[in-house]
Every structure is written in structure tokens, then in C-alpha cells.
Amino acid sequence: MVEKTIDLQKSQLSWLRLEQEFPVELEDSFYWLFSNLEIHRFSFEHDPNDNSTQTIFVWLPLNEWSVREQEILVKSLFSLAKTFDLTLPPCKWTQVKDEDWSLSWKKSWKPDPVGKSILILPAWLDVPEKFLERKIIRLDPGSAFGTGSHPSTRLCIEALDNDPPVGQVIADIGCGSGILSLTALKLGAKSTFSVDTDSLAISAIKINSALNDFPENLLNVFLGSIEEVEANMPGKKIDLVLCNILAPVIKIIGPSFEKIIGHKGKVILSGLLVEQIKELQEFFVLLGWKILEIKTKDQWALIVLTLDLA
């Protein structure tokens, strides 16, 4: 599966760069894998004109990764794909000079229209004239997940775009780069309470908030999970919860949604595989929630809930 191995002893270069094309459905899973392996220098390259595949680039310190460790990493990627009945093409290893890895991937990230009115714009680019009438979300995700390219994220943005949360107080659980919080505010939300357990995400969302000129009192950011929303939210409870994370984590925090949601409030769940819809439906119905809507994109699903007060 490894197209080319590296002779570490002969090389004077500083980095190994792994390049792997993959079906877009695997983005969340790959992000989870690299986070668990404490690999932080990676990026997803997305072409808005091709929604079926992406390319991930991973930068590894040359003196820390043996040939054997490279092979194990690649086998992990292929094994993960196999669990979804997907296959990967051969990967490519390249020796590269010391470089700013976070800059090299920016060359291929393009303005990305989502839904009827949103444009995800790389912070370093100007707004294309044909998109001037859209609501612009400037984004520099850094090392945090969330460029808007993944189907689960697009499902959430489209749901917000179709039913703008005007005047609502939002909780964004697992906010990543802050793309959903920023979208909600652009669409008229009153304020957001955005939480993530990753400190890199907290840094990224603060940067992105500044890029979009939002006052600090609109976008409230905390390191942690739903308990931080409960501890810091105002007297009025949350009108809309956004939760774009993987299904196992949703099931862990799901029983706490009732503690923060206001009367007639809604929860938007994403990050779910289509085959997990039934399991999540049954789980939340037993907790007293009513399913309002289900949408799918590729192999991913979104579920909208509200408390069943009947």
C-alpha cells in the first residue's frame, strides 16, 4: 500500500509529507484518527467542483518516523476505509524541506458557496465578484477541523440557511473552527455559546471571530463541552443546539441537551452516518425528544429534534 518508502539515513530533509486521496465520507474519521495519534500537522484539500474525493496532506518530522511507522500509519488509513466498505488509492510519500505546513495547503483552497446565501471564503482571498451578494464567512481554520467542505458540515449550514436563526441564542457543541457559529451569527442569531474540548479549536474560533468582525459578546467561546454551556449561558435558555460530531459522542452528551434547551427549542445533530439514523432516532425518542426532520448528503445524515411536550 505504501507507494514509496523513505531512506531516513540518507536524507538531510526535515519533513515527510504523506499525500492520500480519499472519499469525502472519511474526513471525520481521518480527523479523529490523526487527533488520537497526536498528529497535528495535517490538512484537507477540497475542490468545490469535485465533491466526491478529497486529499489529505500529513507532515511528519523526518527524524521521528521510521519506515515501519510510516507503513503502520498507512495501514491504519486503509483499515479505517475498509470499515466503511471503501478503498483508497496508493498514497504518496515525499521528502520536503522545512516549510510552514499550514501555508502550503492554502494554495488550493478556493471560495466555496454553500446553500442559497453563504460563501465560505479563505481569509487570505478577496471576494469573487459573482459572490458579492452572499453572506461572507472568512475562515482560517488553522489546525482545527471545519472548512465547510465535509457533507455533515454542509448539511448544517444548509439547514441554518433554510431556516435562519434570527434572534436566537445558539449553542455550538464541538465548534471546531467555528464555522457553524459564524454562519448562525451571519444569519441573524443573537449570540452563540461555542465549546470544544480541543484548545486548537478554541484558538481558531477566536481568530475567525475577529476575521468576521464579531463583537466578543456575540460569540462566547469556552474550552470544554455541554457542561460549559450550562454553566455560562444566560437566564434565557438555548434556542438552538448545533452538534456536528460523531454519533458515539452525541449519545454520551445527548441526555444533557434537555438541561440547556429552552421551550420549543431545537437540536440539529449531524456527523452521523445514514446507517446510524435509526439508532439515534430510537435513542432520542426514549429520552423524550420528537424527530422533526431528517436530511442526508452522500453517506451522512442530519436530524432535527425538539422536546416532545405532548
pLDDT, one tens digit per residue, over 160-181 is 999 999 999 999 999 988 999 9
Q: With 70 as the cut, is the pLDDT of residue 10 above it?
A: no
Range of the domain at 22: 15-107
Q: Is residue 10 part of a domain?
A: no
pLDDT, mean of residues 25-33: 79
Amino acid identity of 194? S
| Structural domains counted in the chain | 2
Beta strands per DSSP E along the chain: 15-23, 42-47, 50-61, 92-96, 112-114, 118-122, 135-139, 169-173, 191-196, 219-223, 238-244, 261-273, 289-297, 300-307
More confident residue, 252 or 149: 252
- Residue 108 has a pLDDT of 61
Q: Express each pLDDT in 51-83 by its tens digit.
A: 778 888 888 888 888 899 999 999 999 998 998
pLDDT, mean of residues 136-145: 73
Q: With 90 as the cut, is the pLDDT of residue 40 above it?
A: no
Residue 138 — φ and ψ, nearest 5°?
A: -80, 135
- Tell me, yes or no, whether 36 and 161 share the same domain: no
Q: With 60 as the cut, is the pLDDT of residue 143 above it?
A: no
- Tell me, yes or no, whether 191 and 303 share the same domain: yes
Q: Is residue 152 part of a domain?
A: yes
Q: Is residue 191 part of a domain?
A: yes
CB-based contacts of 235: which residues, under 8 Å, 6+ apart?
none
- Tell me, yes or no, whether 58 and 187 share the same domain: no
- Tell me, yes or no, whether 99 and 153 share the same domain: no
Query: pLDDT category, 239, cuts 50, 70, 90?
Result: very high
- Tell me, yes or no, whether 167 and 278 share the same domain: yes
- Tell me, yes or no, whether 163 and 216 share the same domain: yes
Residue 220: CATH number of its domain? 3.40.50.150
* Boundary residue ending a domain (107, 137, 156): 107
Q: Is residue 156 part of a domain?
A: yes
More confident residue, 275 or 27: 275
- Tell me, yes or no, whether 93 and 154 share the same domain: no
Q: Is residue 215 part of a domain?
A: yes
- Tell me, yes or no, whether 165 and 281 share the same domain: yes
Residue 72: CATH number of its domain? 3.30.70.100
Q: How far apart are CA 55 and CA 35, in angstroms?
A: 17
Judged by DSSP in three states, 43 sits in strand
Query: pLDDT category, 304, cuts 50, 70, 90?
Result: very high
- Tell me, yes or no, whether 26 and 79 share the same domain: yes
- Tell me, yes or no, whether 180 and 281 share the same domain: yes
* Boundary residue ending a domain (107, 123, 156): 107
- Residue 62 has a pLDDT of 82
- Tell me, yes or no, whether 41 and 184 share the same domain: no
